[in-house]
Structure 1
Amino acid sequence: MVVGVAGYYGFRNAGDEAILEAIARELKARGHQVLALSGDPKRTREEHGIRAAHRLNPLALLRADLWLLGGGGLLQDATSRLSLLYYLSVLRLARAFHKRVVVFNQSLGPLSPWGERQVGQALKGVLVVLRDQDSLDYAKRLGIPAELGADPALLLTPPPVKREEELVLIIPRAGVGPEGVRTLYVTANHLFHEGRQVLVLLLQPGYDDEVLENLPHHRVEKTSDPRRVLYLAAQAGYVISMRLHGLVLAAAAGTPFAALSYDPKVAAFAKEAGAYYQELPGDPIKLSKAAMYGRYPDWEKVAALKERAKRSFDLALGEASPIKRPHGRG
């Protein structure tokens, strides 16, 4: 079967590319062909070894039997209304072409009242798999039936690499105001003076570069390659991240992590993983102590998230009954 994947792919964002890499690997392992809608089809074909078409080519939707919308944080209008309308139009057009569509391992929100109405209308009759309990609760409040999955990037396998316990990855994000970057700057300085090696890692080169003027004097690496991020996460002794997929790839690598949350999806993942997190603007001393004294996530909860991610493919492909929801909150 040809399975199409639609998301924020081809824009040199390591988090979204990690999602695509994980989805492509899992689908190919199950004997399916993969077609991705991408902002840069040539790059996507070369980097992931799959078929790709431009995301603005509506006829590409005819070339797959099943479309997975996601994963990622596509069902929100905090970025822009245009973004939400684009993804809902992909969903509607695929259905108009009589293709099966699954909203796949997405988070839900933030949404304005307008966005809630748009999403509620578009998702009627669609299988919806959400990647965190907070999103599932939100969907329930909106009257949207949904199942619980998890971020596909949790299924990526880390490379064999020697862990350097003194290495701490600091992963900032641009566009969220100076307070969070300031917190990471003080955290990085404190860790450095305590004898830790600090590496500032940018997961969206170009977009995230503006934070560097507020994070001077530390080693910096920029990459949109999820394989490189996973390697560094596996090598590090600890990860402190504002970006969701800094946390997800640390979890995939078995590396302890803490979050500085700028968005509900970051806090949602940290809570479900039993990891330490702070809301912006954050406390740099407590963040640095989390790294120095090994404040770990709950690895049993991380394992459960990986199992949820695995089973979500069974559900999307029609190979399993709906995923059982846990009692209470994850």
Structure 2
Amino acid sequence: MNDARSRLLYVGWTGHGNLGDDAIADALLPHLPAVEPWHVPHDPKAFAHRVLRGGLRGAGDRAVLVGGGTVVGRRNWRLLLEASGLLLARRRPWHLIGIGVEDPSFQGKNSFSAGGELARWKGLCKRFDRVTVRGPRSAALLESVGIDAEVVGDPALLHEPASPIAPRDKLLAVNLGFGDDLWGHDHERVVDAAAGLARGVVADGWSVRFLVINPKDRPFAEEALRRAAVTGEIRLATTVPDYFAAVGDCTVLVAERLHALVLAAAAGVPMAGLEYQPKCADFLASVGSAEWSVRTDRVTPEILREHVDTLARQRPTESARLLGEVGVLRTRLRDELARIRSGAETAGSLR
């Protein structure tokens, strides 16, 4: 591998059919030509295979780049980064941009944040030149263990629709899907709430479009429509352009997946969030939409309908406000990208 391509090693959960993590990588890597085009595997056997196939070669010339996702405060990510720093990327400083912090108040099946895990990140975070995070809750969590951080937003906000799409009247978009666990540990409640919402709006003359951004989530959309006993559209949107095309003309979005919310914000579509884990509320707060977050253990069709009706009434104002918030964060993200690119190029020229 030549010197121009061996300065930064991208650590990210990519290539697994998750639109959000792929959207982060796609937003960042074209702007960072010094990134090695190999993504650290999270499976220990795959990591060992990488090391045995020459991963140690050039480790002293590589620094880590963490591109986003809910990373800090998770034991599995800490162990991965420590192993990467020992074996694959020994150069300092490391870089990150707009990462999320696992909130220990949520303990799910695979949260990996129990037992004071967050405090164990203080030394590891010193390897990074700066720590920038997705939202204000992430910054507050780091501050609680003595780590300074700045909110710059989720890197997927760097995506922009190719052209504006005029919104339709009374078109509700719904996205259902979650990771490994959720508040209340009962996704049936969420599907029931979405079904009740769909039934109610269709009775009042709305159309409903379910957006599926991870193929494994399609059964949730199908079941919600079955329970609602209404006719609705299900649209698969597993790339950023497809998602923008699917969400852009909707009046309002109600979404569970984090990056269904992030990309809707990037398109200026008013949204209410089904907060399956704290990271969703963290993002919504970053764009001034905290009031539209509903935890999945508290959600009801009535709460969702109230949010949808309010957002629909003030659709133009809310869309403009949202785009203004996103614009501020995009500027911060672009400034961070420029700083990381400059730092990597300077380090490369000194070798």
Instruction: Normalising by structure 2, report the TM-score.
Output: 0.75
Which letter does structure 1 place at the counterpart of 2:329?
L
Aligned with residue 225 of structure 2, among 216, 231, 234: 216
Which letter does structure 1 place at the counterpart of 2:303?
K
Deviation at 1:83, TM superposition (A): 5.0
Structure 2 partner of 1:314: 338
Tell me how far apart the structure 1 counterparts of residues 36 and 28 of structure 2 sit (CA, whole Å): 9
> Given that residues 238 and 257 in structure 1 are in contact (C-alpha distance below 8 angstroms), is that contact kept between their aligned partners in structure 2?
yes
Tell me how far apart the structure 1 counterparts of residues 123 and 279 of structure 2 sit (CA, whole Å): 23
> Given that residues 92 and 122 in structure 1 are in contact (C-alpha distance below 8 angstroms), is that contact kept between their aligned partners in structure 2?
no
Q: Does 1:278 align with 2:294?
A: yes
Structure 2 partner of 1:186: 196
Q: Secondary structure at the match of 1:134?
A: helix
Which letter does structure 2 place at the counterpart of 1:169?
A
Q: Does 1:135 align with 2:138?
A: yes
Tell me how far apart the structure 1 counterparts of residues 340 and 136 of structure 2 sit (CA, whole Å): 18
Tell me how far apart the structure 2 counterparts of residues 119 and 184 of structure 1 sit (CA, whole Å): 38
Q: Secondary structure at the match of 1:139?
A: helix
Structure ranking higher in strand proportion: 1
Deviation at 1:253, TM superposition (A): 1.0
Aligned with residue 150 of structure 1, among 150, 153, 173: 153
Q: Secondary structure at the match of 1:142?
A: coil
- TM-superposition CA deviations, 1:115-150 (whole Å, max 9, x none): 224323322332322121111111111112333321
Deviation at 1:274, TM superposition (A): 1.8
Deviation at 1:268, TM superposition (A): 1.3
The structure-2 alpha-carbon separation of the partners of 1:145 and 1:154, relative to structure 1 and needing over 3 Å to count, comes to same
Q: Does 1:198 align with 2:208?
A: yes
Structure 2 partner of 1:237: 251
Tell me how far apart the structure 1 counterparts of residues 72 and 86 of structure 2 sit (CA, whole Å): 14
Alignment of 1:257-268 (within 5 A): 257-268=271-282
Q: Does 1:171 align with 2:179?
A: no
Tell me how far apart the structure 1 counterparts of residues 209 and 271 of structure 2 sit (CA, whole Å): 14
Structure 2 partner of 1:9: 14
> Given that residues 71 and 151 in structure 1 are in contact (C-alpha distance below 8 angstroms), is that contact kept between their aligned partners in structure 2?
yes
Aligned with residue 120 of structure 1, among 119, 122, 131: 122
Tell me how far apart the structure 1 counterparts of residues 288 and 335 of structure 2 sit (CA, whole Å): 21
> Given that residues 65 and 100 in structure 1 are in contact (C-alpha distance below 8 angstroms), is that contact kept between their aligned partners in structure 2?
no
Tell me how far apart the structure 2 counterparts of residues 264 and 108 of structure 1 sit (CA, whole Å): 9
Tell me how far apart the structure 1 counterparts of residues 66 and 300 of structure 2 sit (CA, whole Å): 36
Alignment of 1:286-325 (within 5 A): 286-293=303-310, 294=312, 296=318, 298-299=321-322, 300-318=324-342
Structure ranking higher in helix proportion: 2
Deviation at 1:92, TM superposition (A): 4.7
Deviation at 1:103, TM superposition (A): 2.9
Deviation at 1:20, TM superposition (A): 1.0
Consecutive unaligned residues of structure 2, counting only runs of 5 or more, are 104-112, 227-231, 344-351
Deviation at 1:98, TM superposition (A): 2.2
Aligned with residue 103 of structure 1, among 90, 96, 104: 96
Structure 2 partner of 1:24: 29
Tell me how far apart the structure 1 counterparts of residues 47 and 335 of structure 2 sit (CA, whole Å): 27
Which letter does structure 1 place at the counterpart of 2:138?
S
- TM-superposition CA deviations, 1:77-96 (whole Å, max 9, x none): 3xxx445533443345444x
Tell me how far apart the structure 1 counterparts of residues 256 and 78 of structure 2 sit (CA, whole Å): 23
Q: Secondary structure at the match of 2:261?
A: helix
Q: Secondary structure at the match of 2:265?
A: helix
Aligned residues: 299
> Given that residues 11 and 39 in structure 1 are in contact (C-alpha distance below 8 angstroms), is that contact kept between their aligned partners in structure 2?
no
Q: Secondary structure at the match of 1:306?
A: helix
Q: Secondary structure at the match of 2:95?
A: strand
Tell me how far apart the structure 2 counterparts of residues 188 and 172 of structure 1 sit (CA, whole Å): 13
Structure 1 partner of 2:349: none
Deviation at 1:170, TM superposition (A): 0.6
The structure-2 alpha-carbon separation of the partners of 1:66 and 1:234, relative to structure 1 and needing over 3 Å to count, comes to farther
Which letter does structure 1 place at the counterpart of 2:225?
P
Tell me how far apart the structure 1 counterparts of residues 86 and 124 of structure 2 sit (CA, whole Å): 7
The structure-2 alpha-carbon separation of the partners of 1:38 and 1:240, relative to structure 1 and needing over 3 Å to count, comes to farther
The structure-2 alpha-carbon separation of the partners of 1:19 and 1:60, relative to structure 1 and needing over 3 Å to count, comes to farther
Deviation at 1:107, TM superposition (A): 0.8
Q: Secondary structure at the match of 1:304?
A: helix
The structure-2 alpha-carbon separation of the partners of 1:94 and 1:240, relative to structure 1 and needing over 3 Å to count, comes to same
Which letter does structure 1 place at the counterpart of 2:65?
L
Identity of aligned residues (%): 22
Tell me how far apart the structure 2 counterparts of residues 215 and 36 of structure 1 sit (CA, whole Å): 39
Deviation at 1:308, TM superposition (A): 2.1
Tell me how far apart the structure 2 counterparts of residues 179 and 115 of structure 1 sit (CA, whole Å): 30
